[in-house]
Structure 1
Amino acid sequence: MSAPRERNGGQILVEQLRIQGTKRVFLVPGESYLPCIDALYDHQDAITPIVCRQESGAGYMAEAYGKLTGEPGVCFVTRGPGATNASIAVHTAFQDSTPMILFVGQVGNDFYEREAFQEIDYRRMFGQMAKWVAQIDRTDRIPEFVARAYAVATSGRPGPVVLALPEDTLWGRATVADMPRYERVHGAPTPVALDKLSTLLAGAKRPFLLVGGSGWTPTAMRQIEGFAERFGLPVGVAWRRLECFDNGHPNFAGHVGWGMVDALRQRIHEADLVIAVGTRMGEATTEGYTLVESPQPRQKLVHVYPDPDELGRVFRPTLPIAADVVSFAAAVAQLSPAQTVSREAMTAVTAANANFLAEQEPKDAPGALNLNRVACHVRDHVPDDACITVGAGNYALFAHAYHRFHGVGTSLAPTVGSMGYGLPAAISAKLENPSRTVVCYAGDGCFQMNLQELGVAMQYRLGIVILVFNNGMWGTIRAHQEREFPGRTIALGFDNPEFSQLVKAYHGHGEVVDRDEDFAPAFARALEFANREQLPALIELRYEPDGIAPGVTLSGIRAAALARQSA
């Protein structure tokens, strides 16, 4: 480390980011943290500033970076409005267990508690949606706070940290030593826990392995695959964590949670042992805490999670194991069954995978454009390492139902269900892996929440492909409305711009597709343009709104609801 030297707060902070390994920061510039912006000028060889159009987009890009790399995604926003815009990404990072650090400009300490211009108490604002919220009131403590932020964001259950930066702290000067790069803390299973796990596996007749959460590496995934193979375990992925297990593996059973197929649901219901690794098993994964019941599951439950406070909080496990996915995978890589896996167990694995593959055939849908076939075509015409991003909405179920994800970085999806996520996430994915094919699935409402970030794709020459599902309504809410209040549709529809023309204002390529036979050539043109020009390509999908989800129609939901009411 270099000897302590005098610097202003912005210079000290940015040098700490460099030491901690930060290579990209996402920001919407603000005068409240101007010394940090100036300090970035001297670190252009190591840190790239990505200038975003709105703070929610910047925050989403940082959150996606955390998912992709396992390192904290870093975002800078200005005080007040900037912080409130970015809060949606902080909430996403919290519920998705993603390492992220949000730096927020703050009024100077000399103005604090006067409700000065754009003043907010960030400890109170972010207190329940971040792992740690603090304000750095002294310039000479910046290295300490930044080092701790990286440690907190990545330790135990990963998550977001928010640091407020008063102006006088950033403009102030101090002679202070830098802190060394943080060391990630890993929690590993004990030998006793592994012995108990082996015993439970030996006694189980219908075991099931459920994987999810964050922090997975290619090595950990291969080790878990080997574990599943040796012990004859069908494997499901938790809600919107489709990348956590290779969907092409013969032990793969499918996506667990809202929208899962009946055969998979029944398999988990009938399991006598569920081994949940890395996942909290939240409301979506457990279908409202019914698939695995809270507080006492009907199945024997082995719950592996990095935060001990989570173990026993919602579910009473038979065996709680406080460990992160990397350490657990390394540990079970050394386990082997005491006896040959039974023929019945291997038959169950084969049947589970066969059920999954049977559901990979496109279902029928009303109208001239079948979104099931669209999703299958994308699956079959992108590389295995392609990254598919989604936001929130029923349109995302088409990607989840048909695409086969093959590991870390192939899926970016907010488990918190936040809209506007898909496009910023696709931008972040392309920045991180420029040679990787990136396809964003976006609903027409979801896309319009952050479509201005097309400017980032244009500015940094990012060849992403965007599929906009245009049905002119808030489709997911419409489905709920038809289920609960059939036939009383109101306040759910909207008129859309010409998305295919809008993208051209950002120097991109745009087309409209409204028939099955037109999608394949349009998708080929979009991929070719994105790769050649390194600019965004957009296909606007105009389809029959009744086809709301794979195998589901709004008219069918309405008919079933009316039948229940008249019964």
Structure 2
Amino acid sequence: MQKSNGPRSAAQALVDQLIVNGVRHVFCVPGESYLAVLDALRDREVAITVCRNEAGAAMMAEAMGKATGRPGVCFVTRGPGATNASPGIHIARHDSTPMVLFVGQIERAFLGRDAFQEVDYRSFFGSIAKWATEIDDANRVPEIVSRAFQTAMEGRPGPVVVSLPKDMLTEPAMGADARASEPVETFPGAAAMAEFETLLAAARQPFLILGGTRWSEAAVRSVQHFAERFELPVATSYRRGPLFDALHPCYAGDLGLGPNPKLIARIKQSDLPILLGGRLGEIPSQGFTLFEIPGPRADLVHIHASAEEFGRLYQARLSIHATPIGFATALEALNPRAPIRWGGQTEEAHKDLIAWTEVATPQPGAVNLGAVMVWLREHVPPDTILCNGAGNYASWIHRFYRFRRLGSHIAPTSASMGYGVPAAVAMQRLYPERLVLSVNGDGDFLMNGQEFATAVQYNLPIVVIVCDNASYGTIRMHQEREYPGRVVATDLRNPDFASYARAFGGFGVTVEKTEDFPAAFEAARAAHAPAIIHVKIATDAITPSATLTRIKELALAKA
């Protein structure tokens, strides 16, 4: 435990507590409401990434938490600064990501007077943050910051918001630093593991589904070895693909948007679905249709780090309160009691996955985004980090790109637009030696495209791919389905994104044919600078398995 060495300000105590907790990166948009903290950070060994918008800063912190399992840290100013940051808090809550947002607040004497930029942060963030609080006593800074980190990581991780009144930050803080916060790993009991082993021995079609957070490299390896010993088919939840090697013979695919129909059928036929780490929300459950609610027909086994998740949707046959790390450790002791009855099904499931993802499906227009994803998976290093936001372009990522390692996909399960560029900036700051890709739609990119300037400022050689179909494509797809032929409010008139990159001081290139992409990508890499590859795709190419024209035809026929 670090002791205080004489009087220090609350701002200095706060920075000390961050360092105790291993914080080495913070993201911010500066504000006068927390100048004391910026001054306290100035001479400390904490890298500061100054962003162009608070939404970008909060998403960078969320991405850092997602990648490391430790809270990503963001500082924003009061009022508009805090409200701008709220998308990052929403993402962290839905994605179960540890994160701490510090918000500069007005002086304590002005509270309740509707003062300049005043917001009640407990009320504003109360429904989306895991905890929202305000520090009104300088001596309690170590205590509350320590609790914020613990809360963000414990059980089901999530975001914490801490409000910092401006006058409090300059007051003396006499308390000592708290110890570093560490999440408690929960291990399954012997009785639970015995029942799990009995259920597995009696099963004829078990299926393992991986999701959630609080994983480690060791836990991923242990689960892989368990799947190998039992020849179990394995699926990953929405945007949790890196939890299992896509080329492993036990892997059957991901439960995202537009999944392989054969995968869905297999899981529905399973008599022992095993859900490890995840919650199986709306997207991975295919609109809550994968299992019956509240009582699944099959003998569902649910393993989760937070007991509050049990019975929220599904009444499982067996609920095991354990973190993925704790449960994976217990799996090391399990071995099959009898010959495996379902091994051939696992082999067939993997063959179906390969057939589903091997070759890009034909698409309208001169650029086939599926072929671009196939090329990328064959030519980038296995430890490449791919970041993306939301939009129909992502369906080509999920189907054709193959994630091989933990932490290689950083994307929001909340499907929040504007995430790809900020996340890529954070990942390149964290891993300067690795290739970081940001894949975006055109509307998606311009939600936070200004953070390309942040990449230029810090000389971060991220490669940004902008898939330009001149449309809010996902909404256009639903529009054609619900109101065929009545297009409104979804067309976009876009800039020259390659010129946009050059205007900021980066590299830019345009791709209008599939066969031109490899050379463009190599040129972007050779530039050793932030780069944008502007890929022009047909508006009609809406998903790997459908076109807008076909969706409209089917809707009109149905009408």
Q: Give the TM-score normalised by the residue count of structure 2.
A: 0.98
Tell me which residue corresponds to 1:189. Answer: 188
Tell me which residue corresponds to 1:414. Answer: 412
| Secondary structure at 1:312 match in 2 | coil
| Secondary structure at 1:380 match in 2 | helix
Q: Distance in 1 between matches of 2:250 and 2:526?
A: 35
Tell me which residue corresponds to 1:36. Answer: 37
Conservation of the 8 A alpha-carbon contact between 1:500 and 1:539: yes
Tell me which residue corresponds to 1:556. Answer: 550
Q: CA deviation at 1:150?
A: 0.8
Deviation string, structure 1 residues 189-231 (Cα, Å, up to 9, x no partner)? 1111111111111111111100011121111000000111111
| Secondary structure at 2:467 match in 1 | strand
Conservation of the 8 A alpha-carbon contact between 1:5 and 1:177: no
Q: Find out whether 1:351 has 2:348 as its counterpart.
A: yes
Deviation string, structure 1 residues 75-128 (Cα, Å, up to 9, x no partner)? 000000000000000010000000000000111110000011100000000111
Which amino acid is the alignment partner of residue 513 of structure 2?
A: R
Q: Distance in 2 between matches of 1:252 and 1:58?
A: 35
Q: Distance in 1 between matches of 2:294 and 2:403?
A: 32
> Which stretch shifts more, 441-450 or 555-564?
555-564
Q: Distance in 2 between matches of 1:496 and 1:92?
A: 27
Q: Find out whether 1:234 has 2:233 as its counterpart.
A: yes
| Secondary structure at 1:388 match in 2 | strand
Q: Find out whether 1:282 has 2:276 as its counterpart.
A: no
Tell me which residue corresponds to 2:541. Answer: 547
| Secondary structure at 2:196 match in 1 | helix
Q: CA deviation at 1:508?
A: 1.2
The 5 Å alignment of 1:360-439 reads 360=357, 361-439=359-437
Tell me which residue corresponds to 1:54. Answer: 53
Which amino acid is the alignment partner of residue 525 of structure 1?
A: A
The 5 Å alignment of 1:335-350 reads 335-342=334-341, 345-350=342-347
Tell me which residue corresponds to 2:8. Answer: 7
Q: Distance in 1 between matches of 2:151 and 2:193?
A: 27
Q: CA deviation at 1:4?
A: 4.9
Tell me which residue corresponds to 2:300. Answer: 301
Unmatched 5+ stretches in structure 2:
none
Deviation string, structure 1 residues 136-187 (Cα, Å, up to 9, x no partner)? 0000000000111111110100110000001121011132211111122111
| Secondary structure at 1:450 match in 2 | helix
Q: Distance in 2 between matches of 1:76 and 1:271?
A: 47
Tell me which residue corresponds to 2:251. Answer: 252
Conservation of the 8 A alpha-carbon contact between 2:466 and 2:535: yes
> Which stretch shifts more, 419-428 or 512-521?
512-521
Q: CA deviation at 1:258?
A: 2.2
Conservation of the 8 A alpha-carbon contact between 1:4 and 1:175: no
Which amino acid is the alignment partner of residue 22 of structure 2?
A: G
Tell me which residue corresponds to 2:224. Answer: 225
Tell me which residue corresponds to 2:460. Answer: 462
Conservation of the 8 A alpha-carbon contact between 2:256 and 2:398: no
Q: CA deviation at 1:277?
A: 0.6
Tell me which residue corresponds to 1:209. Answer: 208
Conservation of the 8 A alpha-carbon contact between 1:4 and 1:176: no
Tell me which residue corresponds to 2:500. Answer: 502
The 5 Å alignment of 1:21-32 reads 21-32=22-33
| Secondary structure at 1:165 match in 2 | strand
| Secondary structure at 2:485 match in 1 | coil
| Secondary structure at 1:359 match in 2 | helix
Q: Distance in 2 between matches of 1:70 and 1:64?
A: 10
Deviation string, structure 1 residues 354-408 (Cα, Å, up to 9, x no partner)? 0110012111111111111011111111011111111000001111111111122
Q: Which aligned segments of 4 or more residues in structure 1 are displaced greater than 6 angstroms?
A: none
Q: CA deviation at 1:5?
A: 2.1
| Secondary structure at 1:5 match in 2 | coil
Tell me which residue corresponds to 1:105. Answer: 104
Q: Percent identity between the aligned chains?
A: 46
| Secondary structure at 1:158 match in 2 | coil
User: In angstroms, what is the RMSD of aligned CA positions?
Assistant: 0.9
| Secondary structure at 1:408 match in 2 | coil
Q: Distance in 1 between matches of 2:545 and 2:234?
A: 24
Report how many residues are paired.
Answer: 557
Q: Distance in 2 between matches of 1:130 and 1:554?
A: 38
Q: Distance in 1 between matches of 2:292 and 2:38?
A: 50
Q: Distance in 2 between matches of 1:95 and 1:488?
A: 33
Q: Distance in 1 between matches of 2:385 and 2:426?
A: 11
Conservation of the 8 A alpha-carbon contact between 1:389 and 1:423: yes
Which amino acid is the alignment partner of residue 38 of structure 1?
A: D
Conservation of the 8 A alpha-carbon contact between 2:27 and 2:74: yes
Deviation string, structure 1 residues 270-290 (Cα, Å, up to 9, x no partner)? 111110011110000001110
Q: Distance in 2 between matches of 1:527 and 1:276?
A: 39
Q: Distance in 2 between matches of 1:123 and 1:496?
A: 39
Q: Distance in 1 between matches of 2:332 and 2:54?
A: 42
Which amino acid is the alignment partner of residue 497 of structure 1?
A: P
| Secondary structure at 2:486 match in 1 | coil
Which amino acid is the alignment partner of residue 115 of structure 2?
A: A
| Secondary structure at 1:104 match in 2 | strand
Q: CA deviation at 1:3?
A: 4.3
Q: Distance in 2 between matches of 1:62 and 1:115?
A: 29
> Which stretch shifts more, 186-195 or 92-101?
186-195
Conservation of the 8 A alpha-carbon contact between 2:257 and 2:395: no
Which amino acid is the alignment partner of residue 512 of structure 2?
A: D
Q: Distance in 2 between matches of 1:127 and 1:294?
A: 28
Q: Distance in 1 between matches of 2:386 and 2:403?
A: 8
Conservation of the 8 A alpha-carbon contact between 2:222 and 2:331: yes
Tell me which residue corresponds to 2:477. Answer: 479
Deviation string, structure 1 residues 282-334 (Cα, Å, up to 9, x no partner)? 00000111012221212211011111011111111110111111111111121
Conservation of the 8 A alpha-carbon contact between 2:4 and 2:174: no
Conservation of the 8 A alpha-carbon contact between 2:403 and 2:409: yes
Q: Distance in 2 between matches of 1:293 and 1:301?
A: 11
Q: Distance in 2 between matches of 1:67 and 1:505?
A: 31
Q: Distance in 1 between matches of 2:143 and 2:515?
A: 59
Tell me which residue corresponds to 1:20. Answer: 21
Deviation string, structure 1 residues 476-522 (Cα, Å, up to 9, x no partner)? 00011111111111111010011010000122111111112211111
Deviation string, structure 1 residues 340-359 (Cα, Å, up to 9, x no partner)? 213xx111111010011001
Tell me which residue corresponds to 1:79. Answer: 78
Q: Distance in 1 between matches of 2:6 and 2:312?
A: 48
| Secondary structure at 1:347 match in 2 | helix
| Secondary structure at 2:118 match in 1 | coil
Q: Distance in 1 between matches of 2:100 and 2:39?
A: 19
Conservation of the 8 A alpha-carbon contact between 1:253 and 1:352: yes
Conservation of the 8 A alpha-carbon contact between 1:6 and 1:176: no
Tell me which residue corresponds to 2:115. Answer: 116
Tell me which residue corresponds to 1:536. Answer: 530
Conservation of the 8 A alpha-carbon contact between 1:5 and 1:176: no
Q: Distance in 1 between matches of 2:503 and 2:4?
A: 50
Unmatched 5+ stretches in structure 1:
none
